[in-house]
A and B are shown apart, each in its own frame.
Chain A
């Protein structure tokens, strides 16, 4: 079945540090890949997505590239800010007509210290 594995947290960095959160997946076919972010007390927000191999999703300085050969979708940011502190979820969905179920990784809690 489909599954997503994320790097275990929590991750603590200093402001302006480089961030990588690893995400690998197992899926049949060619899924769409997502990163969602959950700020304290809020719902999940879509951060970025990629729908096919070699696509790069980017938003708010975050990037992730859909790597089919390594079945990965690692999240990166060159210089993190305190406001980036949140829980990050990698997810996949099967592409097709209509709404597709999301399969989530376990989440990675990120804390950025000033």
Chain B
């Protein structure tokens, strides 16, 4: 089946630094990728929608200058958390959607970010 990978799976960084998370569709081309944030024991919150070759669309309340999203190819999207602070610590999950008629999003395994 369709596989989506994320790298790194976990990262610890100091406050004020930037962190980049990659999301790759391994065996299919993803027209659209989504980025979610999941707090402990809570549901997924959509942060932004990313279409290949165009600017990401951010959900209300998500700072676009803080969470930079790039979708440079049909198999790769990146999320950069700029000037990270402890409150940005969370589980970040991406999903990839392909126009194969199944109307299904395929999810990555997630990246655990801890900001000290």
Residues of A within 8 A of B (CB): 32, 36, 41-46, 49, 51, 89, 93, 95, 98-107, 109
Nearest CB to that of B96 among chain A residues? A99
Residues of chain A lying within 8 A (CB to CB) of residue B93: 43-44
Residues of B within 8 A of A (CB): 4, 6, 31-32, 34, 41-44, 46, 49, 93, 95, 97, 99, 103-110
Q: Are B109 and A102 in contact (CB under 8 A)?
A: no
Residues of chain B lying within 8 A (CB to CB) of residue A107: 41-43
Nearest CB to that of B44 among chain A residues? A104
Q: Are B42 and A106 in contact (CB under 8 A)?
A: yes
Residues of chain B lying within 8 A (CB to CB) of residue A42: 109
Q: Are A99 and B42 in contact (CB under 8 A)?
A: no
Q: Are B4 and A43 in contact (CB under 8 A)?
A: yes
Q: Are A101 and B103 in contact (CB under 8 A)?
A: no
10 A-B pairs with C-beta separation under 8 A? A41-B109, A43-B93, A43-B109, A46-B106, A49-B103, A51-B103, A100-B103, A104-B43, A105-B43, A107-B42
* Choice from A43, A49, A99, A100 contacting B110 with Cβ under 8 Å: A43
Nearest CB to that of B103 among chain A residues? A32
Residues of chain A lying within 8 A (CB to CB) of residue B49: 99, 101
**A106-B42 Cα distance, complex, nearest whole Å:** 6
